[in-house]
């Protein structure tokens, strides 16, 4: 199965454009299945539903949780569908394989007042403070992942069009509009404040040494500002991304638009925010309805 697995992983990388870590995870799952099949003494064309049932039992005995089980099943389904498409198999033995039910944890979302308090924390009269305010503005204005934020370069910003070019997972490119405030902060930072860092790299956001700011650096700064703003629960860059999506939907944006802005390849990943809306609506009803 080694050649078939390699061909499938190349298909995921080149044709589907999946992120490197995602492809590595699928590859690890399939190699683990290959080793299991080798111990059984079976071959690719002998795999049937019974073989896969034995493999599921094997994974359970290894102590895999539902999330890991679901990913392994997804890996097998995709692999066998690929083999059917390539005519290595007549049908997929994983077609009827059921994934375990997963409890979807709703993402943490800040209120609009909390976002405002957070954005107001950095001091605007110092290079570090202005840098931090600009980063927070972009995270919330565009729903960026922290990896997307720290990899931004000046040419990615188009102030005239008010757009930001973002390189997302799997090197997928998307353009996200910026509101006027975010455009203003970016322009001021690039023209007035960034040169004071003594840039040694092309990335927009730099540390004290003039090198690109790390993801861990952004996390630490955000946690500090959140505490200063009186937000006691955990806050991460992804919290601002969740808040961005939820606030857009609350304002009337459609799910497909939010999917594009977030860079989600599957709308299923975006639908979680409709559950966030529902949960918040129930909480507000319980809090304010006179008969609650």
Alpha-carbon gap, residue 136 to 131, rounded angstroms: 9
| Catalytic annotation, pick one of 145, 194, 242, 247 | 145
272 and 127 housed in the same domain: yes
Q: Tell whether 91 is covered by a domain.
A: no
198: Cβ–Cβ under 8 A, 6 or more apart, which residues? 209, 210
Question: Which domain, by its residues, includes 180?
Answer: 112-288
63 and 200 housed in the same domain: no
201 and 261 housed in the same domain: yes
| Catalytic annotation, pick one of 71, 77, 264, 280 | 264
260 and 221 housed in the same domain: yes
Q: Is 241 a catalytic residue?
A: yes
Alpha-carbon gap, residue 217 to 255, rounded angstroms: 32
| Catalytic annotation, pick one of 88, 174, 223, 238 | 238
| Catalytic annotation, pick one of 169, 174, 215, 223 | 169
- Each residue's pLDDT tens digit in the chain (292 positions)? 789 999 999 999 888 888 788 899 999 999 999 999 988 887 888 888 889 989 999 988 988 888 888 889 989 999 999 999 998 888 999 888 877 665 566 678 899 999 999 999 999 999 999 999 999 999 999 999 999 999 999 999 999 999 999 988 877 889 999 999 999 999 999 999 999 999 999 999 999 999 999 999 999 999 999 999 999 888 999 899 999 988 888 888 888 888 888 888 777 667 777 665 665 666 656 776 677 6
Q: Are 141 and 157 in contact (CB under 8 A)?
A: no
Q: Is 71 a catalytic residue?
A: no
Q: Which two tokens stand for residue 148?
A: 């997307």
Q: Is 55 a catalytic residue?
A: no
- CA neighbor of 277 nearest in space, from 254, 256, 247, 257: 247
Q: Tell whether 31 is covered by a domain.
A: yes
| Predicted pLDDT of residue 10 | 92
115: Cβ–Cβ under 8 A, 6 or more apart, which residues? 140, 240, 243, 247
161: Cβ–Cβ under 8 A, 6 or more apart, which residues? none
Alpha-carbon gap, residue 278 to 273, rounded angstroms: 9
269 and 170 housed in the same domain: yes
Residue in the structure block whose two tokens are 């692999």: 79
Label residues 122-155 b or e (16+ Cβ within 10 Å = b).
Answer: beeeebeebbbbbbbbbbbbbbbbbebbbbbeee
Three-class SS state of 166: strand
79: Cβ–Cβ under 8 A, 6 or more apart, which residues? 4, 5, 8, 26, 30, 94
Q: Tell whether 195 is covered by a domain.
A: yes
259 and 163 housed in the same domain: yes
Alpha-carbon gap, residue 119 to 229, rounded angstroms: 9
66 and 196 housed in the same domain: no
| Predicted pLDDT of residue 262 | 87
Q: Tell whether 218 is covered by a domain.
A: yes
Q: Tell whether 103 is covered by a domain.
A: no
41: Cβ–Cβ under 8 A, 6 or more apart, which residues? none
Total domains present in the chain: 2
| Predicted pLDDT of residue 280 | 60
Angle, alpha carbons 134-162-244 (nearest 5°): 60
Three-class SS state of 174: strand
281 and 160 housed in the same domain: yes
What is the CATH classification number for the domain harbouring 274?
Answer: 1.10.443.10
Q: Tell whether 121 is covered by a domain.
A: yes
What is the CATH classification number for the domain harbouring 9?
Answer: 1.10.150.130
78 and 172 housed in the same domain: no
| Catalytic annotation, pick one of 121, 131, 194, 241 | 241
């Amino acid at each position: 199965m080694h050649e078939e697995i390699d061909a499938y992983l190349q298909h995921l990388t080149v044709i589907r454009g999946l992120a490197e870590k995602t492809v590595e995870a699928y590859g690890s799952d399939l190699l683990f299945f290959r080793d299991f099949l080798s111990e059984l003494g079976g071959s690719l064309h002998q795999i049937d539903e019974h073989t896969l049932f034995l493999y599921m039992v094997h994974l359970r005995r290894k102590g895999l949780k539902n999330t890991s089980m679901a990913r392994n099943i997804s890996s097998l389904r995709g692999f066998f569908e690929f083999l059917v498409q390539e005519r290595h198999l007549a049908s997929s033995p994983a077609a009827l394989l059921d994934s375990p039910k997963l409890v979807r944890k709703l993402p943490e979302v800040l209120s609009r007042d909390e976002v405002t308090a957070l954005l107001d924390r950095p001091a605007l009269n110092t290079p570090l403070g202005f840098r931090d305010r600009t980063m927070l503005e972009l995270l919330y204005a565009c729903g960026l992942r922290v990896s997307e934020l720290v990899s931004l370069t000046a040419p990615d910003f188009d102030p005239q069009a008010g757009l930001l070019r973002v390189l997302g997972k799997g090197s997928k490119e998307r353009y996200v509009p910026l509101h006027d405030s975010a455009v203003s902060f970016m322009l001021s930072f690039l023209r007035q404040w960034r040169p004071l860092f003594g840039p040694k790299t092309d990335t927009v956001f730099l540390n004290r040494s003039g090198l690109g700011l790390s993801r861990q650096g952004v996390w630490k700064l955000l946690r500090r500002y959140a505490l200063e703003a009186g937000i006691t629960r955990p806050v991460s860059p992804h919290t601002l991304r969740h808040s961005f999506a939820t606030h857009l939907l609350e304002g009337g944006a459609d799910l497909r638009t939010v999917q594009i802005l977030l860079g989600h390849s599957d709308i299923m990943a975006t639908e979680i925010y409709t559950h966030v809306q529902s949960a918040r609506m129930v909480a507000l009803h319980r809090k304010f309805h006179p008969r609650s």
